[in-house]
A and B are shown apart, each in its own frame.
Chain A
C-alpha cells in the first residue's frame, strides 16, 4: 500500500540553527499539507499546497519558516533559525484532489527537538 514518506524521522538541533524536513506524498496526490503538533495537542495546519501552488499559509510563521513544492511532487519545510518553541512533531499529509469525500493520508512525522 502506498504511503507518505517523511525524513528524517528524528532531528535534534540547537537554537538558532537551520533545519529542513522532507515529504514525499503518495504518487498522484495533488494536495499536500504540513502540520505541526505540539505534545499533548492536536495538529495545526502550517501550509497547504495544491500541486506547486500555496493554497493556505496563514498559520506559517513566515519570518522563520518556508515551504516549497517546486515540481508539485515532493516538498521541503525549512526553519531558520530554530527556536526552543519549535520543538514538536511535524506531520505531512496528502490527498488525491480537493478535500471533499477523501481522507488525508498522513506520514510518520518528523520529531524535532530544539536545545
Chain B
C-alpha cells in the first residue's frame, strides 16, 4: 500500500530564508508527483507536477525534485516571503482504473516578517 510522508510537520522561518520541504513515498510505481498549496480553510492549488520520467520542475521561486528510485521528493522555496505561509501537500498519482492521488499529511509553513 502506498504511503506518503512529509517532514517536517511544521516549519517557521524568517523572511528571506531559503527552505526545503521533504516528501517520501513507499512505492516507486507512481505516474507523477505533485506539490499543492493549501491556505487555511481553502481548497488546494497545484504548484508543480513532476512526471515519473522527470527529475525536477521549476516555477518562479519554487523548484521540486523527484528521485523515484529512492522514493523522495523535495520542494525548494527560495527567498521566502510572508505570503508563502500556507500548508504544502505532496501527492503521488498511482494507477487505479483512473488515476488516484495519495497525499501526505502536509507541512505547515510560517514565514515571519
Q: Is the interface of B mostly helix, strand, loop or mixed?
A: strand
Asked if A56 and B98 sit within 8 Å, CB to CB, the answer is yes
Q: Interface 1/0s, chain B 94-113, versus A by CB < 8 A? A: 00111111011110000000
Expressed in whole angstroms, the Cα–Cα distance for A86 and B44 within the complex equals: 20
CB distance from A58 to the nearest CB of B (A): 8
Interface Cβ pair total, 8 Å cutoff: 68
Query: Which chain A residue lies CB-closest to B45?
Result: A106
Q: Decide if B98 touches A31 in the complex (CB within 8 Å).
A: yes
Query: What CA separation (Å) do A55 and B96 show in the bound complex?
Result: 8
For chain B residues 34-91, which have a beta carbon within 8 Å of chain A?
Answer: 34, 36, 41-46, 49, 51, 89, 91
Tell whether, in the assembled complex, residue B103 and residue A48 are in contact, meaning their CB atoms are under 8 Å apart. no
| Complex Cα gap A43–B97 (Å) | 19
In Å, the complex CA distance between A4 and B32 comes to 22
Contact with A along B1-45 (1 / 0, CB 8 A): 000100000000000000000000000000110101000011111
Q: Among residues 21 to 53 in chain A, which have CB atoms less than 8 Å away from a CB atom of chain B? A: 31, 33, 40-45, 48, 50
A90-115 interface (Cβ within 8 A of B) = 91, 93, 95, 98-101, 103-109, 111
4 residue pairs, one from A and one from B, having the closest CB atoms: A99-B99, A42-B103, A106-B43, A103-B46
A: residues with CB less than 8 A from B are 4, 31, 33, 40-45, 48, 50, 55-56, 89, 91, 93, 95, 98-101, 103-109, 111
Contacts A31-B99, A43-B89, A109-B42 supplied; 6 other A-B pairs, CB < 8 Å: A40-B106, A55-B97, A91-B43, A99-B31, A100-B99, A106-B44
